[in-house]
């Protein structure tokens, strides 16, 4: 099993290309199930989760082809992938595939909308909380689906097709908003979705569906209107840049110091996080080529943060920000409101010498003058990047184990950091 070895102490200087967003690419790939034409997606990141979803889609009959593997001058491999679901050969998504990645449960909506039936395994447990699927099932029932849950599978049918509805989510859910958007696109009549998620990844999906012939308006607000159409066509669409990767590398610069251009990054996708970083003493400017992130020799200031749905501070950057605050000059408070169990990185940061205490869903972080390298492990995807960027700022050697979590959501992290002067290498055991 691989680990990543980090030798701390080097400032980061140079260019880091920001990949396409994992959390945008996955629902866009699933949207290929809605049409028998080819959906071409540009800027698809090469990640373990993307490869796993390709296996799941292939099981349903989706053919795919990849172009753009070669490295262009100064660019990482921004891949273009063509998905064609000419025929749905199987409406069942089995446990052994779905259990490896929660987002694969989302195939339930498009399979049901296109074929009138879907049999999808309930996803397995998740390290950062229960993430119930009832929001998905209730919204599809509102569109007229009949759903039975038995033997660990959701069996959904809509023999006469789905029918538009007026539905208000009891709580905001990005995944459930994705699924309802896809299903409602092929429903009869109008669907109004209230309390919809406003995340950029939802907007990216809605824009893609519109390019395929859907009639969606209001994306990016809490009320989305969908006029159902009888069929969708193919399209060509670009995956937005990864705002979580952007924020993670920005915080790496905050921890180490230096001057890095995050090439292709769009600051409008994470304004709350960038504003928080500016309050901590970092200099961040949007340029034509991406985001310029700098930290001079001054220390970091403590900032209090509470995670919120978009446009608030993202839960997916909470662990990394906690790592940053371990080096701040003073006390900060970080409150997690989205997921339970999302403080598992606290014990690992403490192994590096961090001073963090927990009370309920709030962590109190007292900055320390020095972090010291140690053996640590990644507990989930975002925590894995936290341990690496903390290691960049620690004295000595930090070895991060269980980095398979990292490969789910960060494309060639070691390569990108090495190019900016970091001493980071992958070790195979």
Annotated binding site: 22-23, 102, 131-135, 171-174, 316, 338
DSSP state of 364: E
Tokens of 31: 């949207």
Phi, psi of 38 (to 5 degrees): -85, 130
Strand-pair category, 190-194 with 223-227: antiparallel
Distance CA 381, CA 384 (A): 5
Q: At what angle do helices 200-211 and 174-185 cross, to 10 degrees?
A: 10
Binding residues for phosphoenolpyruvate: 22-23
Three-state DSSP at 46 gives coil
275 CB contacts (<8 Å, ≥6 apart)? none
Q: Which of 144, 200, 197, 137 is nearest to 171 (CA)?
A: 197
Q: Which of 241, 231, 149, 140 is nearest to 193 (CA)?
A: 140
**Run of H or E residues at 205:** helix 200-211
In contact, 189 and 162? CB cutoff 8 Å: no
Tokens of 210: 């519109």
| Residues with catalytic function | 126
DSSP labels, 373-426? --EEE--SHHHHHHHHHHHHHSBSEEEEE-THHHHTT-SSHHHHHHTTT-EEEE
**Cis peptide upstream of residue 311 (ω within 30 degrees of 0):** yes
Query: Which conformational region is residue 9 in: left (phi greater than 0), alpha (psi within -120 to 50 degrees), or beta?
Result: left
Tokens of 54: 């390709």
DSSP state of 164: -
Binding residues for UDP-N-acetyl-alpha-D-glucosamine: 102, 131-135, 171-174, 316, 338
Torsion of CA 32, 35, 41, 45, to 10 degrees: 0
């Amino acid at each position: 099993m691989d680990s990543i070895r980090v030798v701390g102490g080097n400032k980061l200087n140079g260019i880091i290309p920001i990949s396409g967003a994992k959390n945008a690419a996955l629902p866009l790939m699933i949207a290929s199930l809605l049409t028998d034409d080819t959906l071409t997606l540009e800027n698809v990141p090469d990640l373990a989760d993307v490869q796993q979803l390709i296996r799941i889609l292939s099981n349903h009959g989706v053919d795919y082809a990849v172009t753009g593997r070669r490295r262009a001058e100064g660019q990482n491999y921004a891949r273009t992938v063509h998905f064609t679901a000419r025929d749905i050969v199987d409406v069942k998504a089995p446990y052994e595939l779905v259990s490896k990645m929660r987002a694969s449960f989302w195939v339930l909506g498009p399979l049901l909308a296109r074929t009138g039936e879907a049999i999808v395994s309930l996803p397995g447990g998740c390290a950062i909380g229960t993430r119930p699927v009832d929001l998905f099932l209730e919204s599809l029932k509102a569109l007229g689906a009949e759903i039975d849950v038995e033997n660990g599978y959701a069996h959904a049918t809509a023999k006469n097709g789905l029918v538009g509805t007026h539905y208000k989510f009891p709580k905001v859910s990005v995944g459930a908003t994705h699924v309802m958007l896809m299903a409602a696109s092929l429903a009869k009549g109008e669907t109004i979705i209230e309390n919809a998620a406003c995340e950029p990844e939802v907007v990216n999906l809605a824009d893609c569906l519109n390019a395929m012939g859907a009639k969606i308006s209001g994306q990016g607000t809490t009320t989305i209107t969908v006029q159902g159409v009888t069929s969708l066509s193919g399209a060509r669409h670009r995956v937005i840049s990864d705002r979580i990767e952007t924020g993670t590398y920005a915080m790496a610069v905050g921890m180490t110091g230096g001057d890095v251009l995050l090439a292709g990054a769009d600051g409008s996708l994470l304004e709350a996080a960038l504003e928080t970083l500016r309050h901590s003493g970092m200099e961040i400017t949007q340029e034509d080529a991406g985001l310029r992130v700098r930290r001079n020799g001054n220390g970091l200031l403590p900032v209090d943060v509470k995670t919120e749905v978009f446009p608030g501070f993202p839960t997916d950057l909470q662990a990394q920000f906690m790592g940053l605050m371990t080096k701040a000059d003073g006390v900060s408070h970080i409150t997690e409101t989205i997921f339970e169990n999302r403080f598992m990185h606290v014990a690992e940061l403490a192994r590096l010498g961090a001073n963090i205490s927990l009370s309920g869903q709030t962590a109190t972080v007292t900055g320390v003058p020095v972090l010291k390298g140690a053996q640590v492990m990644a507990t989930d995807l975002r925590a894995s990047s936290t341990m690496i960027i903390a290691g960049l700022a620690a004295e000595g050697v930090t070895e991060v184990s269980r980095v398979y979590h990292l490969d789910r959501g960060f494309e060639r992290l070691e390569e990108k950091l090495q190019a900016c002067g970091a001493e980071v290498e992958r070790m195979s055991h």
